[in-house]
Structure 1
Amino acid sequence: MSCYVNANDLDILLAMSLEDLSNTDISVTSAAKKPQNIEDIPAAVYVITNEQIRRSGVRSVAEALALAPGVQVTRISEFNWQVSLRSLNEVLFNKLLVMIDGRSVYSPLMSGTFWHTIDALFQDIDRIEVIRGTAGTMWGGNAANGVVNIITKSSTDTQGHYAEVAAGEKDYQEFNYRYGFSLDDNTTARFYMKGVTSDYYLVNDDSWRNLSGGFRADHNVDNRNISVQAGGYQTRSQHYWFYGNFYLPPEDVFTNTTLNVFARGAYASFDWIEQYNDKTTYELHLWADANSTNEPSAQGEFYTLDLDTLAHHALSEKHQLTAGGGVRVIHRRTESYPDDFYSHVEPWGRYSHDPIGTDFIVNGYGQIESQLNDQWFSTIGAKIEYFSLNDSVEFQPQARFLYRHNDQQQFWFGAGRAAVTPSFVESKTDSYILGTVGITDGNGNIIDSRPTVVYTVNNQNLKNETVRTIDAGYRYSPTHSLSIDNTIFYSKYKNLRMEGDRAWACVYGECIDGSTLPYEIFTLINTFSDGLNADSYGFETAIQWQPLSALKLNTSYSYMKTNAECSGSAGCDANATSGYRLMYDHQPAHFASIQSLWQITPAWQLDLWLKYKSKVEADVPAFSAPSITTLDVRLAWQQKPCWPRIEWIIDGIGKDPYEDLPGKSLIEETFFMRAAWDLP
């Protein structure tokens, strides 16, 4: 292999338009479970390309999602994040379906996504597809606000050796390796391993590490494509911790200790796609995984087996039917209440009265795509889904239309309904947090204090969370170097989760059921409620522009606003100072991202990423937050294609310690270096 780039080839590369670099051979499969060009999809779609990910300088998939409009990425610690789509931002965000090659990575242990466990070799990611809006017809539960599908490359496209090392501040170190090879003329494979270590928090020496690895094989012959994948991960972090034994004397109640948290998992998947004839294609997707963690608020393990089958059939030249069905079985094992809870009380945790169980989900769906005339196209479909956990059935329809004015302009609009998969976290488990209650005299002065355990107990009568969304969009590509994609949306949520009214169950250790607790403990009880509804609306735009042959700009902006209302809780009162209603009403409204990719010379790249989050003004100080603007810088050098690529990256250049949202851990400017070597 030659280590030199032909000058003419380089000139051609630098002269390629944005469309050539970003959209050539890129199709979206998450919208209709089949390859489609973006301009043919009547929905809000954004594709984060491999180039955008690599040149953003990010160290995680979660960070890269901030490139897409409508996505809110909040950094919890050095290596943990919460991600939401179209407002309702919270740690336990259950309205976004996250997948890797169509395999769900949603965790029943927390009713959300453990983002610090989702890792992949960036070099092997082909693209990340972000579908904004309801996608329940194709994907079912949890695709309420949208879908994130991380699409990895075929092993055919990842042949040879790839190695990457990185190191930087906060004790950050990383090593990645992948090797791809051919088994025969039609079969290729690869395996990879990845290891990361770092501080978990800025303010102390808590350590964090992640080890992961995997295998993929692809067999392509005639009209048949088969893919087999398997892999696993383990994360570990160490934290300063304590627990209380309330049977001991006051001076000995609390014991300082170290908490060693782990999360581990393994998966395997099998995908078969076969073109039966010119009109029909069949697909079979089967995957299984096993996951466990000892994190106190999500302790337990679960095992999932998922089968999905579908067929694409051309009814005529202008009508195509997609129909399918599937079943998912989830077996869970969670922590039961200990025999004596008050002899070992962690700062927070979760226990269950029904620690072992098996749930299943069954669905069937159909969708018809039609060409109504030369300019109008429609997509109409529905899914019926049964959830055994609460014996419920959800109907999730959608209707979408696209008007192709010409090759440069398309208009689309749609409406749909989606449901959130019911969670055993809310219906089968109780969470708690340890605190202190201040005891006051008649003048309001604190004269004493007592330990308090605040419980949020389960509710088996919760209705499923649902959302109805209408949205519309306009795509405009006046030239090959400029693309504009605009979307407006309105969503109506029902039965959102919140905490109900609180009531004291025990005061000075004397409980209303006649029992007595040690150490004059207070306990406060609240129950999960579904009495919260909300409306959200907003505007999203993505602009891709290549003003010069060596300079590209990827820009996104989002405006999102939520209005919530509820009943049955003190947090619903007009003078409330806490609660989910206030949290939803007081979130940043404006988000902006500008990524510039500059090929200074054939050997040098300079990439900048500016991110902005607007301030939050609230009468309650706990919900107020300043605006946040950060600038990430990446400088890269690679003299020849077979030489290593050296990168210098500053995350949040010049940024002093700050909270990404109120109550989150401090983060600040971080510098690291990375070297990658790709040998086909």
Structure 2
Amino acid sequence: MLKVSLATTCACLSLLYTAPSNADVDLDALLEMPLESLSDTKVVSATRTSLSLADIPAAVHVITAKEIKRSGARSVADVLVLAPGLHVAKFSNYDWGIAARTTNEALSNTMLVMVDGRSVFNGMFSGVDWDLIPVSLDNIDRIEVVLGPVGTIWGGNAANAVINIITLDAEDAPRRRVSASAGNYDYREYHIRDGGEVSENFYLSGYAEFVQHMPWTSDEERVQPHQDFRVYTERFGLRGDYQNLDRTISFQLGGIRSREDYYWGSYQPHFLFPGEDREDIAGYNTEMLSEEYFAGIKFLQELSESTNWEQQFWLTYSNSDAPDRNAYFTRLDSETSYSDSDVFGGHLSLGFNYRLIDEHFRPYSDRETYVLPYVRVTDESDFINHSVAMYFNYIYPLTETTELMVGNRWQYFNLVHDTFAQPQIRLMQEIGEDQRVWAGWGRSVITPARQGRTTDFHQNAYASDVTFCKNGDVNDCLPNNYDYMQVIINTGNENMPVPEVETFELGYRLWEEQVVQFDLSLFYSEETDIPAWLLTGFERKFVAASSPGTAGTIIDVYRYDHIAPVSSETYGGEMSVKWQPNANFQANASYSFKRIKAECNGNTCAAAENALRGYENEPLHIANAQVMWDINPSLWVSNVFQYIASSEPDAILGDEERVSWPSMLTWDLIVGWTPAKNYPEFTLTVENLFNDQVNEFPQSYSSFDNGTQYWLEVDWQWP
């Protein structure tokens, strides 16, 4: 493994600083706050209203700022390992697959991810780009994870989970802080953040970050020729908060830009370049750019002691030049919500949402659809995609110990010209001062996207001067060699139905003040109209033009249509516990189980058997643990463990070793040390300790081994 020495700049920063700090906010003090009682922990993601976690009839888990800091994570995706019910798998050094209660895919469309209620879900490609979330880990107050359907509150894609990243108010954000990190695989990261009171009742905070690293933390032979490649990420954010009596105004703007070195090329089939002696593929080094920028404003008005009105506007611009998603969009979100905590003795929330997305796919010529290894094309490059929704949610105390929650959302999508209902009903029973049981049912839909509907995805392969043998028999080959091109076209289907997820849940919650928190949830869900690809056509073409010495060019075109014959039943559960016997020690642990049973409907089922069994091929058991120990005021240590059991693929899928999810056990060790008050804090992190190369996906996904990574961070708050 390539070992890169720690940067000289970190050694310089390790000099002792003796100047006193006069910052108004002590971030370290915030991080050292004890474990909150569930009755004191407030959550907004389950109901869009700040409610006590103890009183929410849903499977909710909160990852605190301290837990994030002590996890050693460098990205939101890495942090989510700490949450129960989430299968987090790392594909490369900047790609992840994350799923809740369903199959794990690079782009999972049954989980909604937000930052302060603003969606970071890529609607054009129906998934989340985990490396493009525009938020700094040091600016996160907490991450709220709600498992199960939350479509009533948040709309499409909030089917199996909602992840809401809540950032710190400008008043509480880090101030006068700089940090630098360096480690192996050429990892470098630099942060600067500041903020403070601008005028009475008005606070402003901001940050800027730069990160660079290799695309792969791998010793595999296939990546060694390209280990000089780098991924560069710049991220920035600005937030202002004004509060005066009954009125609060908050604005945010920020963005992220990622530049990735990569090797690209284009095929040069001789039938397209007659008379020219060219290599089969012209390869070259280039750079791929992805970026997202946003701006938004929130206005909250307390109308009375029991009523509130909130208005939000968000503007987002996202752009990528990757061949499979060479597109950009501008999105406008408007959200109006009203809440009254005294409507016939209950709490009523009403809301109206409008979203407009101006989408642009970059066009390709007919020749480019042959010569590029893969490319996404469409007949309609520009499209205005919009949806309109209104919802209500009502919480009513049936008795002193029993609470009922009912709600519904009606959402219209112009892409399918249809309106969908996303209802829920939940019930919570208090069985003691610190115990609750709850049950719930809800239905959510998957927001329709142009991917798979109005776009076609072409995958090409070309080789010159090859031998053709019937059925692979080397004794039965054609007398002459040919040039060969294979074209696979995944054809979109505008008439695809909109998938729905319906879930039944049971839960139990127990806590003992600031010592123990325990959660248990069981679920059964049904998902309908799951997409699959069906081979519907094969055509072999012969072209006389070819490379010298060959008899012509054979072009095989395979056409797959997008269909929705699959439905599934999934059942399982999640269990989590947080334990803090004293102020210096905390242990968190969770376990989750899920089993998927897929079914097929219609006359295409025989051809879709592989897709059916592939949908079921998921790990059954996932567990994690985090142990944090403050040894003394200057030294702390943290450990993060993760276990994922291997999947049990059906024999029809073929080689089990190739298609099964591998069993994985990882250990991350983090040590923090502050020599004295007002000195920098040094944090050493080792990821995948004693487990040098870990592949977290099946071999059939062609993912990369992830090696042991280590880095040192120096964090200093200047006077």
Work out whether the TM-score is over 0.5. yes
SS across alignment from 2:68? helix
Partner of residue 262 from structure 1, selected from 289, 299, 306: 289
Mean alpha-carbon deviation: is it higher for 49-58 or for 425-434?
425-434
Residue 252 of structure 1: how far off its partner (Å): 2.2
* Structural mapping, 1:465-614, within 5 Å: 465-478=499-512, 480-508=514-542, 519-567=553-601, 572=606, 576=609, 578-579=610-611, 581-614=612-645
Q: Which residue of 2 aligns with 1:459?
A: 493
Render the CA deviation track for 1:415-464: whole Å, top value 9, x for unaligned: 01100110111111111222369943267448577221111011000000
SS across alignment from 2:614? helix
Q: Which residue of 1 aligns with 2:247?
A: 224
Partner of residue 94 from structure 2, selected from 65, 72, 79: 79
Residue 26 of structure 1: how far off its partner (Å): 3.8
Residue 679 of structure 1: how far off its partner (Å): 4.5
Render the CA deviation track for 1:152-171: whole Å, top value 9, x for unaligned: 00001126311111010111
In structure 2, the CA distance between the partners of 1:239 and 1:509, relative to structure 1 (3 Å rule), is: same
Q: Which residue of 2 aligns with 1:514?
A: none
Residue 337 of structure 1: how far off its partner (Å): 3.6
Question: How far, CA to CA, are the matches of 1:277 and 1:14 in structure 2?
Answer: 34
Question: How far, CA to CA, are the matches of 2:692 and 2:32 in structure 1?
Answer: 39
Partner of residue 186 from structure 2, selected from 171, 174, 180: 171
Question: How far, CA to CA, are the matches of 1:650 and 1:308 in structure 2?
Answer: 42
Question: How far, CA to CA, are the matches of 1:372 and 1:397 in structure 2?
Answer: 20
Contact 1:595 1:609 in 2 (8 A): yes
In structure 2, the CA distance between the partners of 1:395 and 1:16, relative to structure 1 (3 Å rule), is: closer
In structure 2, the CA distance between the partners of 1:570 and 1:648, relative to structure 1 (3 Å rule), is: farther
Q: Which residue of 1 aligns with 2:443?
A: 417
Question: How far, CA to CA, are the matches of 1:308 and 1:271 in structure 2?
Answer: 9
- One-letter identity of the residue aligned with 1:441: K
SS across alignment from 1:521? strand
In structure 2, the CA distance between the partners of 1:14 and 1:179, relative to structure 1 (3 Å rule), is: closer
- One-letter identity of the residue aligned with 1:476: L
Residue identity (%): 28
Q: Which residue of 1 aligns with 2:104?
A: 89
Residue 417 of structure 2 corresponds to residue 391 of structure 1: yes
Mean alpha-carbon deviation: is it higher for 545-554 or for 265-274?
545-554
In structure 2, the CA distance between the partners of 1:166 and 1:570, relative to structure 1 (3 Å rule), is: farther
- One-letter identity of the residue aligned with 1:440: C
In structure 2, the CA distance between the partners of 1:372 and 1:507, relative to structure 1 (3 Å rule), is: same
Question: How far, CA to CA, are the matches of 1:33 and 1:560 in structure 2?
Answer: 28
Q: Which residue of 2 aligns with 1:106?
A: 121
- One-letter identity of the residue aligned with 2:308: T
Mean alpha-carbon deviation: is it higher for 635-644 or for 27-36?
635-644
Question: How far, CA to CA, are the matches of 1:24 and 1:182 in structure 2?
Answer: 31
- One-letter identity of the residue aligned with 1:375: T
Residue 346 of structure 2 corresponds to residue 331 of structure 1: no
Render the CA deviation track for 1:599-655: whole Å, top value 9, x for unaligned: 111111110001000012332223223310000000110134422110110010121
Contact 2:565 2:605 in 1 (8 A): no
Residue 291 of structure 1: how far off its partner (Å): 0.7
Residue 56 of structure 1: how far off its partner (Å): 0.2
Question: How far, CA to CA, are the matches of 1:571 and 1:507 in structure 2?
Answer: 29
Q: Which residue of 1 aligns with 2:5?
A: none
Contact 1:17 1:481 in 2 (8 A): no
Q: Which residue of 2 aligns with 1:382?
A: 408
* Structural mapping, 1:140-289, within 5 Å: 140-158=155-173, 160-201=175-216, 202=218, 203=223, 204-205=226-227, 206-246=229-269, 247-248=272-273, 252-289=279-316
Question: How far, CA to CA, are the matches of 2:606 and 2:434 in structure 1?
Answer: 48
Contact 1:162 1:676 in 2 (8 A): yes
Contact 2:509 2:519 in 1 (8 A): yes
SS across alignment from 1:123? helix
In structure 2, the CA distance between the partners of 1:418 and 1:643, relative to structure 1 (3 Å rule), is: same
Contact 1:351 1:430 in 2 (8 A): yes
Residue 660 of structure 2 corresponds to residue 624 of structure 1: yes
Partner of residue 441 from structure 1, selected from 470, 485, 499: 470
In structure 2, the CA distance between the partners of 1:668 and 1:443, relative to structure 1 (3 Å rule), is: closer
Mean alpha-carbon deviation: is it higher for 51-60 or for 522-531?
522-531
Residue 109 of structure 1: how far off its partner (Å): 3.3
Contact 1:499 1:569 in 2 (8 A): no
In structure 2, the CA distance between the partners of 1:296 and 1:14, relative to structure 1 (3 Å rule), is: closer
Contact 2:21 2:718 in 1 (8 A): no
Q: Which runs of 5+ in 2 are unaligned?
A: 1-17, 545-551
Residue 430 of structure 2 corresponds to residue 404 of structure 1: yes
In structure 2, the CA distance between the partners of 1:435 and 1:384, relative to structure 1 (3 Å rule), is: same
Q: How many residues align?
A: 662
* Structural mapping, 1:290-301, within 5 Å: 290-301=317-328
Question: How far, CA to CA, are the matches of 1:74 and 1:400 in structure 2?
Answer: 32
Question: How far, CA to CA, are the matches of 1:505 and 1:553 in structure 2?
Answer: 60
In structure 2, the CA distance between the partners of 1:566 and 1:507, relative to structure 1 (3 Å rule), is: farther
**TM-score, structure 2 normalization:** 0.88
In structure 2, the CA distance between the partners of 1:253 and 1:131, relative to structure 1 (3 Å rule), is: same
Contact 1:242 1:257 in 2 (8 A): yes
Contact 2:125 2:450 in 1 (8 A): no
Render the CA deviation track for 1:34-74: whole Å, top value 9, x for unaligned: 11111110001000100111100010011101111111111
Question: How far, CA to CA, are the matches of 1:615 and 1:569 in structure 2?
Answer: 33
In structure 2, the CA distance between the partners of 1:524 and 1:432, relative to structure 1 (3 Å rule), is: same
Question: How far, CA to CA, are the matches of 1:174 and 1:455 in structure 2?
Answer: 41
Render the CA deviation track for 1:310-350: whole Å, top value 9, x for unaligned: 100134473111111111001100022414235x6222221
- One-letter identity of the residue aligned with 2:540: C
Residue 182 of structure 1: how far off its partner (Å): 1.4
Q: Which residue of 1 aligns with 2:716?
A: 677
Residue 676 of structure 1: how far off its partner (Å): 1.0
- One-letter identity of the residue aligned with 1:297: D
Question: How far, CA to CA, are the matches of 2:682 and 2:536 in structure 1?
Answer: 56
Residue 242 of structure 1: how far off its partner (Å): 2.0
In structure 2, the CA distance between the partners of 1:450 and 1:464, relative to structure 1 (3 Å rule), is: same
Question: How far, CA to CA, are the matches of 2:515 and 2:298 in structure 1?
Answer: 37
Contact 1:617 1:623 in 2 (8 A): no
SS across alignment from 1:227? strand
In structure 2, the CA distance between the partners of 1:300 and 1:14, relative to structure 1 (3 Å rule), is: closer
Render the CA deviation track for 1:335-375: whole Å, top value 9, x for unaligned: 22414235x62222211111101011000101111011111
Question: Once superposed, what is the RMSD of the aligned Cα atoms?
Answer: 2.5
SS across alignment from 1:424? coil
- One-letter identity of the residue aligned with 1:230: L
Residue 294 of structure 1: how far off its partner (Å): 0.4
Residue 4 of structure 1: how far off its partner (Å): 10
Residue 123 of structure 2 corresponds to residue 121 of structure 1: no
Q: Which residue of 2 aligns with 1:515?
A: none
**TM-score, structure 1 normalization:** 0.93
Residue 17 of structure 1: how far off its partner (Å): 5.4
Q: Which residue of 2 aligns with 1:513?
A: none
Render the CA deviation track for 1:244-302: whole Å, top value 9, x for unaligned: 02223685231111231110121101111111101210010110111110011111100
Residue 687 of structure 2 corresponds to residue 651 of structure 1: yes
In structure 2, the CA distance between the partners of 1:245 and 1:493, relative to structure 1 (3 Å rule), is: same
Mean alpha-carbon deviation: is it higher for 75-84 or for 644-653?
75-84
Question: How far, CA to CA, are the matches of 2:604 and 2:713 in structure 1?
Answer: 51
Q: Which residue of 1 aligns with 2:78?
A: 63
Partner of residue 635 from structure 1, selected from 671, 682, 704: 671
SS across alignment from 1:138? helix
